[in-house]
Amino acid sequence: MIKEMSLVFGSKTKAQEIVFLLEDVKEIVRQGFYEEELDKVEKFCKEKGLFLVRSKFKVLLADETGYSNKGIRISEEDKRPGMHFVYISKDEEKAWLASYYELVGNDYDLGLLLGYPKCCADFFVKNFSVERYDLELKASNLFTNLSKRNDDCVLLSHFPCSSDCEESLGLGKKFLSVIRSVDKERAEEMENLLIEQINVGEDH
Ligand SMILES: [Zn+2]
């Protein structure tokens, strides 16, 4: 199921977030798409009763996984191939609110609205900068492990304040169990990849 949806959304990670919306474990997600990808995505959302709000600006991202929300902002009319951020939710008001928070640079409230733990939203605001946009910490468990996010295998969509952050662990566990309920094969594939990485780290 996640693989089929990834044909619409461009990656399994993005597809899995849409599953979280549909299964009501997330209220809103933020994703980046290029112009040519948006038609498919908008059509899918409409069919599923999801509201999609598109950012008025485009972003030339430093890190295309969407973890870093501070690429260079360019106008919608700019010819360079920037990404649009879109905010997708069953609740139209929340989708607009997220787009507003992003527009005015309110990372903290945006993070909370996206369902990130308070401690992690705090951590992000205090530590993130243009020079330091990758806040990944050494993985200690598969649930908060971000090390495979560039290989399209990650459970969380935020930087945990610590690899053992309890709320992040709880989210990671919940997300994996939802993935398992809709796509057992994908859940196993993810578990194997995410564990492998931790074992590699411990093996001296
Ligand atoms: Zn935290």
The model carries a pTM of: 0.89
- Gap between the Cα atoms of 100 and 4, Å rounded: 31
**136 C-alpha vs ligand 1 centroid, how far in Å?**
13
**151 C-alpha vs ligand 1 centroid, how far in Å?**
23
pLDDT for 18: 98
**39 C-alpha vs ligand 1 centroid, how far in Å?**
35
**23 C-alpha vs ligand 1 centroid, how far in Å?**
23
**169 C-alpha vs ligand 1 centroid, how far in Å?**
9
> Into how many domains does the chain fold?
1
pLDDT for 203: 44
**45 C-alpha vs ligand 1 centroid, how far in Å?**
30
Backbone phi and psi for residue 145, each to the nearest 5 degrees, phi listed first: -75, 115
**56 C-alpha vs ligand 1 centroid, how far in Å?**
30
pLDDT for 96: 97
**150 C-alpha vs ligand 1 centroid, how far in Å?**
22
3-state secondary structure the chain: CHHHHHHHHCCHHHHHHHHHHHCCCCCEEEEEECHHHHHHHHHHHHHCCCEEEEEEEEEECCCCCCCCCCCEEEECCCCCCCEEEEEEECCHHHHHHHHHHHHCCCHHHHHHHCCCCHHHHHHHHHHCCCCCCCCCCCCCCCCCCCCCHHHCCCCCCCCCCCCCCHHHHHHHHHHHHHHHHHCHHHHHHHHHHHHHHHHHHHCC
- Gap between the Cα atoms of 184 and 2, Å rounded: 10
**156 C-alpha vs ligand 1 centroid, how far in Å?**
12
pLDDT for 114: 97
pLDDT for 62: 61
**115 C-alpha vs ligand 1 centroid, how far in Å?**
11
| Residue spans of the chain under pLDDT 50 | 202-204
**27 C-alpha vs ligand 1 centroid, how far in Å?**
19
**76 C-alpha vs ligand 1 centroid, how far in Å?**
34
| Residues of the domain holding 166 | 2-202
